[in-house]
C-alpha cells in the first residue's frame, strides 16, 4: 500500500527523494524530486495568499476601537490559512514542491478596487537564495493598511536515524507509518500597520505557525498546522492561536482555538473556535469567520510586460514543461537558470560588487518586533527583518 499515490516509473526517484529528506543532507528546495511532486509555481508567489480576501484586509481599517480592530485582524489572518496551507491540494491534488526562487526574483500583483474597498498592491522579492528568504509587502493605501514581512523555513524529519539508514532496495518493501512526517518551522514574522483617523499607526506583530507535512510516504503530502502563533498589537490586545489536527483516535483536521486578551489582562475577552479551512464561532455561538466561499486570486501583468527577474517570466519555460508533462524540457530550462545564476554570483565576486536588493533593506533587529514580542510567550526576543522601500528611480 505504500507510495500508492506515486505514479509507476517514479517510485524509485520518490524513494531516493525520501531518503534525502530523511538525512536532510541538503537544502530541501534544491533536492531533486520526481516530476509528479513538482509545482510550476515559485515560492515568491506564496505571499499573495495573505490577501486573497482583500475585503477582509481593507475592513481592518473600519474597526472603531482597538478591540474591534484586533478581532478584524484575527478574522483576516484566520481567513488566509485555507489558501496558504490547503490550496495546492485543492488545485493540484497534493502538496507540491515549489520552484526554488533565485536571488532577486520578483513578484508583483494587485487586487482591484471594488465597493470602495480600495486597491491592494503586492511586492515580493527573494532577498536571499541560500538560505531561501522571501520578503513581501502588501498595502492598501486608500484604507491605510499595510503588511510588511519575510519568511524562511527550517525543516526536520521526524524519523531521522532509522529512516536515514534504509537502503533504496528495501524501501519498496517497507510499510511506512504515516506518523513519519516533515516538520517545518517558519522563520520570520510580519508587521501589520493600520493608520488611524488621528494619523497615528497601530501595529500588529504576526508570528507564523509550524507545519507538519504528512502523507509523504504515500506520495500524497498535505499540511497540518501545529503549536501556536501570536498576533500582538501596540494597543495591548493580544491573540494567541492554538492549532490542532486529527490526533490518533478522533478529532477533525485543521482545528484552531484563539484567545483574545485585552491590554494588561491574562484572561481572554473572546474565545474563537473552529476549523480554519471552513468556519468558526465565538463562545456564545456567534459565527466568526467563513471561508467556504470563493477567494480572489491576485492579478498579474502579462508576461510580455514583465521584467526578466519577474517570476512568471523567469520560470515560464520550466513551468510550461511541468504543466505539459515535458519534464526533460523543464529540467533543461531549470539547469539553464541555475547555471546563469552561478555565473552571475561568480562575476559579482570577481568584480567585488555583490547583488543589490531592489525593494527591501535588511535590518539586524526589527524594533517593532522587539517591542511587541514582550506581549507574547516562548518566542525569540529579537529578530531581523527586511524593510520595504519603493525604488526611487
Ligand atoms: C511558505 C510561506 C507561505 C506558507 C507556506 C505554505 C506551504 C509551505 C511553504 C510556506 C514553504 C515551502 C513548503 C510549503 C509546503 C511544502 C514546501 C514547506 C511556509 C516544501 C519546501 C516542499 C516539501 C516537498 C514535498 C514533501 C511536498 O506563507
- Per the rule left: phi > 0, alpha: psi between -120 and 50, beta: everything else, 285 is left
Q: What is the pLDDT of residue 19?
A: 79
Residue 49 beta carbon below 6 angstroms from any ligand 1 atom: yes
Task: Pick the residue whose CA is nearest to atom 3 on ligand 1.
Answer: 46
**CA of 186, closest atom in ligand 1:** 19
Residues facing residue 325 across a β-bridge: none
364 DSSP 8-state letter: S
**Distance from the alpha carbon of residue 39 to the mean position of ligand 1, in angstroms:** 11
Q: Whose CA is nearest to atom 5 of ligand 1?
A: 84
Which residue out of 98, 150, 157, 216 has the highest number of ligand 1 atoms within 8 Å of its CB and is therefore the one to mutate? 98
How many Cβ atoms sit within 10 Å of the Cβ of residue 12?
13
Does residue 46 line the site of ligand 1, with CB under 6 A? yes
pLDDT of residue 211: 96
Which ligand 1 atom sits closest to the C-alpha of 49? 28
Regarding the beta carbon of 255 and ligand 1, being less than 6 Å apart is answered no
pLDDT top residue among 343 and 217: 343
Strands 38-42 and 97-99: parallel
- Give 228-242 pLDDT, tens digit per residue: 999 999 999 999 999
Smallest CA-to-CA distance from 141 within 113, 164, 115 is with 113
Mean pLDDT over the full length of the chain? 92
> Nearest 5°: CA angle at 276, between 274 and 282?
35
Identify the residue whose cell numbers are 498589537: 233
CA distance 29 to 311: 16
- Which residue out of 184, 217, 277 has the highest number of ligand 1 atoms within 8 Å of its CB and is therefore the one to mutate? 184
Q: Are 261 and 62 in contact, with CB atoms under 8 Å apart?
A: no
Say if residue 70's pLDDT is above 70: yes
Helix (H) or strand (E) holding 213: strand 210-214
Q: Give the residue, 315 or 156, on which the prediction is more confident.
A: 315
**Does the C-beta of 186 come closer than 6 Å to ligand 1?**
yes
pLDDT tens digits for 171-190? Answer: 444 444 445 788 999 999 99
8-state DSSP, 250 = S
- State the distance from the centre of ligand 1 to the C-alpha of 195, rounded, in angstroms: 32
pLDDT at 15: 84
Structure letter (DSSP) for residue 320: H
Decide if pLDDT at 203 tops 90: yes
How many residues would you count in the chain? Answer: 393
pLDDT over 70 at 166, yes or no = no
Secondary structure element (H or E) that encloses residue 368, with its range: helix 367-372
Residue range 103-115: average pLDDT?
97
Closest atom of ligand 1 to 155 CA is 18
At residue 178, the pLDDT reads 47
> Is pLDDT of 164 > 50?
no
Q: What is the pTM of this model?
A: 0.94
CA of 222 to the centre of ligand 1 (A): 10
Distance 14 CA to ligand 1 centre (A): 18
Is residue 146 over pLDDT 60? yes
User: What per-residue confidence (pLDDT) applies to 25?
Assistant: 61
Three-state DSSP state, 85: helix
pLDDT digits (tens, 9 = 90+) for 328-378: 999 999 999 999 999 999 999 999 999 999 999 999 999 999 999 999 999
First to last CA, the chain: 58
Residue 199 Cα, ligand 1 centroid: separation in angstroms? 38
Mutational test site, ligand 1, from 21, 132, 149, 151, max ligand atoms within 8 Å of CB: 151
- How many C-beta atoms surround the C-beta of residue 343 within 10 A? 10
**Distance, CA of 16 to CA of 12 (rounded, Å):** 6
**HSE-CB of 18 using CA atoms within 13 angstroms:** 34
CA distance 187 to 135: 12
- How does pLDDT run across 268-319, given as a tens digit for each residue? 999 999 999 999 999 999 999 999 999 999 999 999 999 999 999 999 999 9
Mean pLDDT of 147-155: 95
2 pLDDT band (50/70/90 cuts)? low
**10-62 tens-digit pLDDT:** 988 888 888 788 776 667 877 889 999 999 999 999 999 999 999 999 999 99
How far apart are alpha carbons 147 and 193 in whole angstroms? 6
Amino acid at each position: 500500500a505504500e507510495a500508492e499515490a506515486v505514479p509507476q516509473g517514479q517510485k524509485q526517484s520518490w524513494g531516493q527523494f525520501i531518503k534525502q529528506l530523511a538525512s536532510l543532507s541538503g537544502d530541501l528546495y534544491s533536492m531533486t524530486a520526481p516530476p509528479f511532486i513538482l509545482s510550476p509555481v515559485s515560492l515568491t508567489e506564496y505571499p499573495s495568499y495573505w490577501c486573497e480576501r482583500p475585503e477582509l484586509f481593507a475592513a481592518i481599517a473600519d474597526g472603531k476601537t482597538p478591540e474591534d480592530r484586533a478581532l478584524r485582524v484575527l478574522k483576516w489572518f484566520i481567513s488566509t490559512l485555507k489558501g496558504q496551507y490547503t490550496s495546492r491540494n485543492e488545485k493540484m491534488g497534493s502538496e507540491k514542491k515549489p520552484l526554488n526562487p533565485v536571488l532577486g526574483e520578483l513578484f508583483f500583483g494587485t487586487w482591484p478596487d471594488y465597493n470602495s474597498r480600495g486597491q491592494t498592491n503586492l511586492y515580493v522579492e527573494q532577498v536571499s537564495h541560500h538560505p531561501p528568504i522571501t520578503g513581501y509587502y502588501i498595502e492598501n493605501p486608500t484604507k491605510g493598511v499595510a503588511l510588511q514581512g519575510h519568511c524562511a523555513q527550517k525543516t526536520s524529519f521526524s524519523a531521522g536515524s532509522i529512516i536515514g539508514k534504509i537502503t533504496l532496495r528495501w524501501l519498496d518493501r517497507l510499510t511506512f507509518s504515516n506518523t513519519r512526517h516533515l516538520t517545518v518551522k517558519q522563520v520570520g514574522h510580519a508587521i501589520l500597520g493600520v493608520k488611524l483617523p488621528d494619523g497615528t499607526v497601530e501595529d500588529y506583530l504576526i508570528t507564523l505557525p509550524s507545519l507538519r507535512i504528512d502523507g509523504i510516504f504515500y506520495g500524497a503530502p498535505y499540511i497540518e498546522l501545529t503549536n501556536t502563533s501570536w498576533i500582538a498589537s501596540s494597543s495591548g490586545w493580544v491573540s494567541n492561536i492554538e492549532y490542532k489536527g486529527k490526533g490518533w483516535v478522533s478529532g477533525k483536521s485543521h482545528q484552531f482555538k484563539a484567545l483574545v486578551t485585552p491590554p494588561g489582562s491574562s484572561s481572554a475577552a473572546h474565545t474563537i473556535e473552529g476549523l480554519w479551512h471552513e468556519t468558526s464561532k465565538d463562545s456564545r455561538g456567534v459565527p466568526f469567520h467563513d471561508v467556504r466561499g470563493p477567494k480572489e486570486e491576485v492579478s498579474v501583468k502579462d508576461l510580455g510586460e514583465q521584467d526578466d527577474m519577474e517570476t512568471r517570466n523567469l520560470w515560464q519555460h520550466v513551468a510550461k514543461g511541468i504543466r505539459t508533462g515535458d519534464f526533460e524540457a523543464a529540467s533543461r530550462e531549470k539547469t539553464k537558470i541555475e547555471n546563469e545564476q552561478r555565473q552571475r554570483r561568480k562575476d559579482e565576486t570577481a568584480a567585488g560588487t555583490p547583488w543589490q536588493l531592489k525593494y527591501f533593506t535588511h535590518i539586524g533587529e526589527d524594533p517593532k518586533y522587539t517591542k511587541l514580542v514582550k506581549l507574547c510567550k516562548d518566542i525569540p526576543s529579537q529578530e531581523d527583518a527586511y524593510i520595504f522601500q519603493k525604488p526611487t528611480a
